[in-house]
Amino acid sequence: MWMFQMNDPYILLLPCISIVWACLYRNFRFSTIDFVLVCICIYDVVNWYMCPSSALDGAYTSVICICCYALLRSTMYSREYRNLFLKMLLFPILIALVITLVSFNLFIDATHEVGFIDTYPLRFLFRPLGYVTTVLSSIYIPLLGLLAIGCYYQIPRWRGLFGLSGVLALVTIFLSFSRAAYIACIVYAIFILIVVKSTRKKMTLLALYFCICGTIWLFFPIEVATTLAMNKTISQRQSTEGRLKATEKALEIFKENKWIGTGDKSYSLTMDKVMTQDSTFAFTPYAPNIAIQLLIEKGIIGIMLYVCLAIAVIITFMRWRKRPIALLSGGCLLAFAIKEMTISSMLNDYVVCLLVFILLAFLQVEAEEVENKKIIVPSWERYAFVVFTGMCFICFETSNLKEQSDKENTHKAVEAFGSGNYLKAVEWLEKTSDRLPCRINRAMLAVNVPDSLLPVGYQLKAGESLGEITLPSDIYISYIQAKLMLNGAREIEAYHILEKLVMNYPRNASYMYEFYQMLYKKGKQQEAALTLAKVLWLYPRFLHTEQVKDVFFTDPIFREKVLANLTLELIKIENTPNAYARYGYISYYMGEKEEAKVFLNKALEFQPGFAVPWLLLGKLHKEVGKTKEAEVCYKKYNILMKGVYTNDKLPLEDEVQIYLDSKVVFERYAKKFLTWYGCALVY
């Protein structure tokens, strides 16, 4: 259910099944791994309660995984139950693999059809089952381990199906074009060869492995070469630099909450003020590695628990290293850990976490077989587990019901706001709770709607409610407060807040745009021109806002002052494909078509995954009568904007422009808001 991302907003089915079974039976010896996992689960629940920015998903995942783990540990004493579990697991795995491979074929056909040769920079378009490629490989590595275990058990009439699924899983991992996934596969292949005793079978497996590698290389030589090269492309170098910077900043920022961290799934929110306040960089919720994410979200206490888990796993593995299942599951855990040290996905995705717990259960299977004795479980243990998990899920569902109600009411408020029915939007937002995202949305409504169209005192009430929040991680709260002050004629206070934001975050175009407007109104033309030039350089879409268009039309002298600050020196400072694309964009809309063509082509030479440069090049070709070249550019723009899995044949030959200031100002924050708080932003 989780792997296929089925919609289950109230998350009821899996907890009920796992609690009932796990509480009725315990036919296993309580190991060190079990003890540490229970401690981690309890810590996650406490952490969720104590940290205001902690997500419910993290604690819920931890409890449900420990219940499923207990269920597996209770049933795996019997080989019959183990075989049944693997059989039940095989069919969804096989379906997922087929969907992934068919999706990849569609992705390749669609990208090649429009003229792309190298698909490596376009991997973000390949999203089977809704997963990005980095998460997808993290899912299939544990699944490969489970399939290898299924092959080893030699279940009558099933071994061939497990083997076929294992081959398909290996192919999908290689098709992710992830260097860390490749290394993980090599490591796991070594463990599989250790388990296989027959020399003939080892040679067969090696031949099959190299055959798969050779086939992938034969069909996708450019992508494989790029994957294996160390920092060959500019995007790879930027990714490496970004990971190093994120690690450095994380080590600095974790000191603010060093003991218990900032809460589950709060990494991107916590790191936002030091990592993603640059309007030229894309937002990503993923940490550079699992160690950094643990440090930020769970603090010293949490990371020590995971260190204890790693030690317990190593001790268990070393003790039973001569046992095949221990080798297969332990080797798979090592391969997965290698993958997690390049980008963290386990703490962000339900299914990845659950698969790791399943492997931990299999790691101890043979210990139960060897030490198989009658286990007498005290009644208090059963009742303690029932009480703890039951109370957790009651608390979770109570909180979840409130969150789901808030999401539904917010969605209706967004629809009402979009249709101009502001009083109805107020009505829906008033039905939401006092949770942080609900307060922010009420303030956003007050920011974007004139006070005369809102109930009396609504703006003041929203501002006071937002002022009670103490969450330094979300910097946009200060920005929203400044905009509320401007609406309430408190310009001096707003000016000081914006001045501080611009000083602390000089590459955030939204803060700078608001500050520019204040400078222009005050008559500080020179400062305003320099500030607006910085805004347009960081985020050229501000060219299309009504305010900038009006100013450029009515004040040509000011327009010339702004353009005088947009020089080639800006490109020389950054020297990135993004900088070339931005300069080409500005040049195009300022009428410098030849200059635009040069820099747009240069941007696409290094990063063909940029969408808008293809559109602008298409328009440039069309203007000089090159219709065939224009059509190719438009096709590439369409596939990058719509994706490869769409039946929408309507061609886009113009940029999807946003003219309202609030849309441009808050569009980046809206994406972050959805990731951090799980609901839409009213803007």
Residue at 123: amino acid letter:
R
332 and 445 within one domain:
no
Tens-digit pLDDT profile for residues 635-680: 899 888 888 876 555 556 565 555 567 888 898 999 999 988 888 9
Instruction: Give the domain CATH number at 643.
Output: 1.25.40.10
Q: Evaluate if residue 369 carries a pLDDT over 70.
A: no
Task: Spell out the long-range contacts of 478-487 with Cβ–Cβ below 8 A and sequence spacing 24 or more.
Answer: 479/510, 479/511, 479/514, 480/440, 480/443, 480/444, 480/447, 481/443, 482/514, 483/447, 483/514, 484/443, 484/446, 484/447, 484/459, 486/514, 486/518, 487/446, 487/447, 487/451, 487/459
- Decide if 571 is inside a domain: no
Task: Spell out the long-range contacts of 219-224 with Cβ–Cβ below 8 A and sequence spacing 24 or more.
Answer: 220/119, 220/175, 220/177, 222/117, 222/118, 222/120, 223/118, 223/119, 223/120, 223/177, 224/177
- Decide if 10 is inside a domain: no
Nearest to 479 by CA among 488, 468, 466: 466
171 and 217 within one domain:
yes
As to burial, measured by CB atoms within 10 angstroms (0-12 exposed, 13-18 middle, 19+ buried), residue 318 is exposed
610 and 646 within one domain:
yes
- Decide if 404 is inside a domain: no
Tens-digit pLDDT profile for residues 324-356: 899 999 999 999 999 998 888 888 888 899 999
Task: Tell me what pLDDT residue 12 has.
Answer: 52
294 and 318 within one domain:
yes
303 and 185 within one domain:
yes
Task: Tell me what pLDDT residue 195 has.
Answer: 85
- Alpha helices (runs of H) in 131-266, residue ranges in sequence order: 133-152, 159-174, 179-195, 199-219, 221-228, 234-253
- Answer for the pair 587, 579: CB distance below 8 angstroms, yes or no: no
Instruction: Count CB atoms within 10 A of the CB of residue 382.
Output: 15
The band of 464, judged by pLDDT with boundaries at 50, 70 and 90, is confident
Kindly state the tokens that stand for 582.
């931005």
Kindly state the tokens that stand for 646.
């769409």
Taking the C-alpha atoms of residue 398 and residue 387, their distance in angstroms, rounded to an integer, is 16
Task: Tell me what pLDDT residue 569 has.
Answer: 86
Kindly state the tokens that stand for 77.
């004493």
Taking the C-alpha atoms of residue 596 and residue 584, their distance in angstroms, rounded to an integer, is 4
Dihedral angle of Cα 32, 33, 36, 37, to the nearest 10 degrees: -150
Q: What single DSSP character describes residue 590? A: T
Task: Tell me what pLDDT residue 657 has.
Answer: 57
Taking residues 493-516, report their average pLDDT: 93
Instruction: For 29-89, list the strands marked E by DSSP.
Output: none
* Least confident span in 155-169, 189-203, 209-223, 391-405: 391-405
Instruction: Give the domain CATH number at 432.
Output: 1.25.40
DSSP string of 453-471? GS-TTHHHHHHHHHHT---
Tens-digit pLDDT profile for residues 180-199: 899 999 999 999 988 888 88
The sign of the dihedral angle between the CA atoms of 196, 198, 199, 201 is: negative
Greater model confidence, 261 or 2: 261
As to burial, measured by CB atoms within 10 angstroms (0-12 exposed, 13-18 middle, 19+ buried), residue 278 is middle
- Answer for the pair 604, 614: CB distance below 8 angstroms, yes or no: yes
Tens-digit pLDDT profile for residues 573-599: 888 899 999 999 999 999 899 999 999
Kindly state the tokens that stand for 507.
């590459």
587 and 520 within one domain:
no
444 and 366 within one domain:
no
- Answer for the pair 316, 326: CB distance below 8 angstroms, yes or no: yes
- Decide if 466 is inside a domain: yes
The sign of the dihedral angle between the CA atoms of 114, 115, 117, 118 is: negative
Taking residues 142-159, report their average pLDDT: 88
Tens-digit pLDDT profile for residues 3-31: 555 555 555 545 555 555 555 555 667 88
- Answer for the pair 1, 13: CB distance below 8 angstroms, yes or no: yes
Task: Tell me what pLDDT residue 647 has.
Answer: 59
Dihedral angle of Cα 455, 459, 461, 465, to the nearest 10 degrees: 140
Task: Tell me what pLDDT residue 467 has.
Answer: 81
- Decide if 56 is inside a domain: yes
Dihedral angle of Cα 187, 191, 97, 60, to the nearest 10 degrees: -80
Kindly state the tokens that stand for 662.
């609030």
- Answer for the pair 407, 385: CB distance below 8 angstroms, yes or no: no
Task: Tell me what pLDDT residue 24 has.
Answer: 52
Kindly state the tokens that stand for 555.
């004040």
Tens-digit pLDDT profile for residues 131-148: 888 888 999 999 999 999
Tens-digit pLDDT profile for residues 524-565: 999 999 999 999 999 999 998 888 999 999 999 999 999 999
Greater model confidence, 379 or 430: 430
- Decide if 559 is inside a domain: no
443 and 381 within one domain:
no
323 and 179 within one domain:
yes
Taking residues 262-289, report their average pLDDT: 87
- Three-point CA angle 306, 307, 310, nearest 5°: 85
- Decide if 75 is inside a domain: yes
Report the domain count for the chain: 3
**Domain extent at residue 511:** 419-524+660-683
Mean residue pLDDT of the chain comes to: 86
- Decide if 276 is inside a domain: yes
649 and 619 within one domain:
yes
425 and 337 within one domain:
no
Task: Tell me what pLDDT residue 5 has.
Answer: 56
* Least confident span in 7-11, 138-142, 458-462, 509-513: 7-11
Kindly state the tokens that stand for 415.
């629809």
- Answer for the pair 121, 235: CB distance below 8 angstroms, yes or no: yes
Tens-digit pLDDT profile for residues 437-452: 999 999 999 999 888 8
610 and 683 within one domain:
no
Taking the C-alpha atoms of residue 312 and residue 263, their distance in angstroms, rounded to an integer, is 24
